[in-house]
Amino acid sequence: MKEENSTENTVNAENTASTESAEMTENTEENVSTKETEATDETQDAEETVEDKLALAEARIAELEKERLYKQAEFDNFRKRIVKEKAELILNGGRKVLEAMLPVIDDLERALVHMQTAEDVEAVKEGVDLIYKKFLKVMEAQGVTQMKTEGADFNTDFHEAVTQFPAPTEDLKGKVIDCTEKGYMLNDTVLRFAKVVVGI
């Protein structure tokens, strides 16, 4: 009887152990299966994330390429416009000055006609003087001014020495004592150097 009980206990123990082992195996298989499923899901999520990032990057690249083409076209148009404006300036740059000088030419023509029949020389002289002053005003309006040379220190930035002459007084040494051809400035630059006689 004891032997039978012992055998039954052994069989029961083996059955229990076998059942537990089977359950453990099933649990292990379930865990492995669950982990594999989770790993697959994570891989799919990672692939989707990479694909999303790739799609975003491609969209951004396309946007930047479009923007680059737009900027390049805009720059080309700007360059062409500048070239055209520069060409127009070269061709018509003196138009404003010439238009301003036309009234002076008209006055000179009237003076020439009047001189042929004029008997009063003083009136003709006064008329020519008025035309000369008008011409100077037109030039000043365009930024052209005469250089002041009389008694000025000789300066190679503005003057061209034609000759040297003994100065009548000590204070005129190294100064301009005569001007043979007037110099002109255009705004702040020399348009024509003044030809001068310098005292030594």
118-167 confidence digits (pLDDT tens): 888 888 899 999 999 999 999 999 899 999 888 888 999 999 999 998 88
User: Structural domain tally of the chain?
Assistant: 3
Quickly list H helices, 118-185: 121-141
Determine the 3-state secondary structure of 69 from DSSP: helix
Angle at Cα 139 formed by Cα 88 and Cα 105, nearest 5°?
85
CATH number of residue 153's parent domain: 2.30.22.10
Sign for the CA dihedral angle at 151, 157, 163, 166 comes to positive
Sign for the CA dihedral angle at 45, 48, 53, 56 comes to negative
Domain stop point among 126, 142, 158:
142
12 inside domain: no
Q: Is the pLDDT of residue 88 over 90?
A: no
More confident residue, 20 or 134: 134
174: containing domain: 143-200
User: Which phi and psi angles does 11 have, rounded to 5°?
Assistant: -65, -45
160 inside domain: yes
pLDDT category, 50, cuts 50, 70, 90?
A: confident
- H or E segment at 12? helix 2-92
Provide the percentage of residues in the chain whose pLDDT is more than 70.
Answer: 76
Residue 11 has a pLDDT of: 46
